[in-house]
Amino acid sequence: MVSVCNNGQGRIWKNLKINNKDYVICSIKENESRKVFLTDLIEIWVETLTDETMFHKCQTMNPLLNLELFDWKQVILDMLNDIPQYMYANVLEVTTYRIELRKDKNFIKLRFSLDLLKGTPQQFWESVTMPLCSSSMELIRRHKILLNLIKQKDEEIAEYKAEGAELIRRYIATKPFNEELFHTDAAGSIDFINTFQSVIQFYNEITLLKSHTKLEVSSNNASSTNDTKIDGNVPFDSSKNDSIQELRQDELNKQGPSKVEEYKANLSSKAPFSKISSTIHKKRNKKTLNDFIM
């Protein structure tokens, strides 16, 4: 069962029984490290594993193995992805849970251990309480929407019947909805671990849906922004050109009158092409004496 934590990283929670007590455990990748969470829905235990930490634990628990002969890290990741399957021992101390794992790979038996420290209230909130609250709020919102829709449908059906409409398939006929149905079948004993997993799975679905919606909106905004850009020639801005000429004039004034005269001479000799072309066009349109004779 998959859930999503606050940074978007998926969490796969799995049932784990320790000393005849039910827990759920998961392992996630966070930046360049791995995090393992264990909770009984009352408290939470956490351990952060870096590559260096995992290698040191492997060396300590497997002193006779040459870790360079096989991909030890992949073997550990396989165990972390399914901790209940590879757990063979566990020890509960005052504030620490020690869970020992073992995997047989060909002729190699690799042992590994998790030393989970009791987490903070913030970690319990992010992993357990916040997903439950978010899911409850979404369920309440959908509950109200569905109730209003069912009531509107009942009114619509009643109006059709008042106008004389009849069903051809009578077996699909329904009775008008009554909210008292919610109070007749009260829930009995609750398996809180399975309930937690079901709610977290629902939380995962709505969170993924929201993330996909945000990605679509951002991509649409990016495409519309690109469409507004003009790929042709940029219109000439005379105000910018005037400001550039003023800056050049100030620099030339500082250098002396000879530079100013040289700059003005260059400007007069380099007339804009548009003015030259318009002058040539006017000259070509000017009528000559031969035109009047013709």
Q: 113 and 99 in contact (C-beta within 8 Å)? A: yes
C-alpha Rg value of the chain to the nearest Å: 38
First to last CA, the chain: 97
**DSSP 3-state of 118:** strand
Task: Please tell me the distance from the alpha carbon of residue 193 to that of residue 229, in angstroms, as a whole number.
Answer: 54
Provide the token pair at 284. Answer: 């070509």
Provide the token pair at 46. Answer: 């956490």
- Residue 179 forms part of a structural domain: no
For residue 291, what pLDDT is reported?
Answer: 47
Q: Measure CA 17 to chain center.
A: 32
For residue 258, what pLDDT is reported?
Answer: 55
187: which DSSP letter?
A: -
Contacts of 101 (CB under 8 A, 6+ apart): 79, 83, 86, 87, 88, 111, 112, 113, 114
Place of tokens 């952060």: 48
The pLDDT-based confidence of 48 (bands split at 50, 70, 90) is: very high
For residue 1, what pLDDT is reported?
Answer: 47
Ranges 41-50, 100-109, 212-221: which has the least confidence: 212-221
**Region 71-81 average pLDDT:** 93
- Residue 141 forms part of a structural domain: no
- Residue 100 forms part of a structural domain: yes
Higher pLDDT, 41 or 253: 41
For residue 112, what pLDDT is reported?
Answer: 95
2, pLDDT greater than 80: no
Domain ranges, residue 29: 13-119
For residue 162, what pLDDT is reported?
Answer: 92
**What residue spans of 89-129 are helical by DSSP H?**
121-124
- Residue 47 forms part of a structural domain: yes
Share of the chain above pLDDT 90, in %: 35
Task: Please tell me the distance from the alpha carbon of residue 51 to that of residue 223, in angstroms, as a whole number.
Answer: 40
For residue 282, what pLDDT is reported?
Answer: 44
Task: Please tell me the distance from the alpha carbon of residue 139 to that of residue 12, in angstroms, as a whole number.
Answer: 22
**Region 105-125 average pLDDT:** 91
The pLDDT-based confidence of 292 (bands split at 50, 70, 90) is: very low
Which H or E element spans position 3? strand 2-4
Q: 78 and 71 in contact (C-beta within 8 Å)? A: no
294, pLDDT greater than 50: no
Name the domain count of the chain. Answer: 1
Give the number of other Cβ atoms within 10 Å of residue 8's Cβ.
Answer: 9
Provide the CATH number for the domain around residue 89: 2.170.210.10
- Residue 134 forms part of a structural domain: no
For residue 107, what pLDDT is reported?
Answer: 80
4, pLDDT greater than 60: no
Phi and psi dihedrals of 30, rounded to 5?
-135, 110
**What residue spans of the chain are helical by DSSP H?**
51-61, 72-81, 83-86, 121-124, 130-162, 181-184, 192-227, 238-255, 257-269, 273-285, 289-293
- Residue 228 forms part of a structural domain: no
- Residue 18 forms part of a structural domain: yes
For residue 101, what pLDDT is reported?
Answer: 95
- Residue 264 forms part of a structural domain: no
Tens digits of per-residue pLDDT, 164-200? Answer: 998 899 898 888 888 887 777 666 667 778 888 888 8
Q: 199 and 131 in contact (C-beta within 8 Å)? A: yes
Tens digits of per-residue pLDDT, 194-246? Answer: 888 888 888 878 877 776 666 666 666 666 655 554 444 444 455 545 555 56
Ranges 25-34, 36-45, 90-99, 217-226: which has the least confidence: 217-226
For residue 178, what pLDDT is reported?
Answer: 86
